[in-house]
Structure 1
């Protein structure tokens, strides 16, 4: 599904005027903050996906490759799914694609001959080595407008937000 987001964000006042009748106790601040947060996330994803598409990758596939790089012993598909927060069916599709690109390989598990692990291939290592020097400077330049103390504050806030995501599942 295509990810849609507003190109031109309304002001807080415009948001308040548009949603005032939808809920009696509407506070525009969380709505507006969420709009800004989602806009930044979407922009980051779009720009990095543009870079990664030159290699036949998406942000998700690149994340999977980096995860495997950090686990040279390999990971079972179920472990990958758990660490990436997706279903095993999703991982299976990603792995099939990455295997066709010869970026990962399936190898028999060292202690359980019935199972297999996914490992990064030499070509997978090489593509990461090629992408990272193009990817990282863009990321660093993006975050350069925020000083170290501000980044620490953002990290703390984002950590609290991650811990609070369970409230999103409440009915």
Structure 2
């Protein structure tokens, strides 16, 4: 006897046929079923998945082990419709309810450190704020160095500096 299994993952529906031994016992176990599902959807072999189905009473039931799988098959649902989600996937409501500011919270110190490493003019611009050194920074050679460095590296973090207070210089002034 054969059992048709329709598996849905991220809106994609795939179909597979399982052979049943007598008394509605599938020839594969739950681990083999998960392996087949990973192959069908080209999922990571280590992906931790959650599988649910709707039973004969209309209840959504989680299929976690061989006992649950056998119970689902013995209900005589043909096709057996399975919904798969990965345990590491946030739900749509979780994704949309977390503002971008919260997802990027704590990133500013890292971005600031990257600015210092990636922009060779960062420290020169910091020194240009020291009044005693103004004459040095007004020389054509240093001005050209600053222009070239800013032109070549300044745009690396330009989008981040626009999103908050101006961070073109260490003290926030332009």
TM-score of the two chains, using structure 2 as the length reference: 0.24
TM-score of the two chains, using structure 1 as the length reference: 0.24
Q: Report the structure, 1 or 2, having the larger helix content.
A: 1
Larger RCO (CA under 8 A, 6+ residues apart): 2
